[in-house]
Copies of this chain bind each other. A is one copy, B any other.
Amino acid sequence: MKKIIIQSQLGSYPIHIGYKTVLKHVSSVLTSLRLGPHFVIITSPTLSHLYGYKLRRHFSSSVKVDQILISDQEKDKNMDTVQKIISRLIKLKAHRKTCLVAFGGGVIGDITGFVASIYMRGVPFIAFPTTLLSQVDSSIGGKCGVNTQEGKNLVGSFYPPRAVFSECSFLKTLPQKHYRSGLAEVIKYAVIDNQKLWTILHAHPSQILKRIPSVLEKVITSCVLTKKKFIEEDEKDFSKRQILNFGHTIGHALEAHAAYRGITHGEAIAQGMYTATDLSLQRKLCRPKTAGGIRSLLKKYGFQKQPLPPNISSTIARDKKRENKAISWILIEELGKPQRVSIPQEVF
């Protein structure tokens, strides 16, 4: 098991990563962090059915563990679900020392973190990310939030977990569509900063697509280390952290445009990476060879370029990445050399 500490001004926290080695440490980690004795697991019916018993038996028998079941669909990551969870917490008599447990993918992690940040002005939470996307990205960095009709994550907080437990064996049962969604974020890290990951991704697509344990653990750890570097320098996302938004300007707009239905986050940001690569080339920022390498990696993992919806520009304009009338883009100079570029809204 690997343990990586994320330094945060709001409270540092450990990420535990391993294959069939993480859960046995849960009880001792929670004791050392003085969390409990009341926990409320927030998860989906499917995950509860598959792993609920397995997870619960790793909590000490002296603590009380409740459970709230919610939808894990992006379309339900909204204030209605937040309010339902809060009502249930009140009924469960959750108090300021109750610790919430996010058990699921990005949707469940985002919504649980957000509820933890506002229930009784903040209660602790821990996360067990169960998807590749959440293990390499959304469970790390303290960003949480929900969507509104107008756009993705327009409501949220910076609120770090007290600990993250990334058990890679949970990925075994993840549908391929969602596994590939995480791979898009993995590709993003490789492009913006991680040469080693780039090499692994190009060299071993079949092992990675087959989820071979040893490769999985290596890939996830490598992604977490890259993300750590960006967020520790700019936790509140005013400068360097924005690099992590490579592919996200178009990505978020595509998700909002589809009303968070039918398209995964990874599929959306893969299209965003295609667009950002095209823009980098158009603006003569990168060489054709660099753009070709990015496109070929995306294709290798099954992401084909699609035409953008004609009215996507008005959705982009509502995104958080707007500042006055310009849109902030992450473009690519060469591999490992991303650049923040402000482009007037009218470009699209």
The answer on a CB contact under 8 Å between A122 and B158 is yes
Q: Which residues of B contact A82 (CB under 8 A)?
A: 79
Overall SS of chain A's interface: mixed
A154 at the interface (CB under 8 A from B): yes
| Smallest CB separation, A155 vs chain B (Å) | 5
**Residue tally, chain A, CB below 8 Å to B:** 37
Interfacial chain B residues near A62, Cβ < 8 Å? none
Q: A147 → chain B, closest Cβ, in Å?
A: 11
Q: Which residues of B contact A157 (CB under 8 A)?
A: 117-118, 121-122, 157
Interface residue A16 (Cβ < 8 Å from any Cβ of B): no
Q: Which residue in chain B gives the minimum CB-CB distance to A151?
A: B90
Determine which of B121, B151, B156, B317 lies in contact with A121 in the assembled complex, contact meaning CB atoms within 8 Å.
B156
Kindly specify which of A50-58, A262-270, A271-279, A320-328 makes contact with the partner chain: A320-328
A265 to chain B, nearest CB (A): 17
Is there a chain B Cβ closer than 8 Å to A83's Cβ? yes
CB < 8 Å: which of B97, B118, B148 contacts A86? B148
Asked if A207 is at the interface (CB within 8 A of a chain B CB), the reply is no
How many copies of this kind of chain does the complex include?
Answer: 2
A150 to chain B, nearest CB (A): 5
Task: Let me know if A119 is at the binding interface, CB within 8 A.
Answer: yes
Interface residues of A in 65-109 (CB under 8 A from B): 79, 82-83, 86-87, 90, 93, 95-97
Check if A161 is an interface residue, CB within 8 A of chain B.
no
Q: B118, A156: Cβ atoms under 8 Å?
A: yes
Asked if A79 and B90 make an inter-chain contact with CB atoms under 8 angstroms apart, the answer reads no
CA distance A18 to B120 in the complex (A): 33
Instruction: From B87, B93, B155, B324, give the contact of A118 (CB < 8 A).
Output: B155
A238's nearest neighbour on chain B, judged by CB, is B96
Beyond the given pairs A120-B320, A121-B145, 17 more chain A to chain B contacts, judged by CB atoms under 8 angstroms and listed by A's residue number, are A83-B148, A86-B148, A86-B155, A87-B150, A90-B151, A93-B318, A95-B323, A96-B320, A114-B118, A118-B118, A118-B145, A120-B156, A121-B143, A121-B156, A121-B320, A122-B236, A157-B157
Interface, chain A (partner B; CB < 8 A): 79, 82-83, 86-87, 90, 93, 95-97, 114, 117-122, 143, 145, 148-151, 153-158, 236-237, 317-318, 320, 322-324
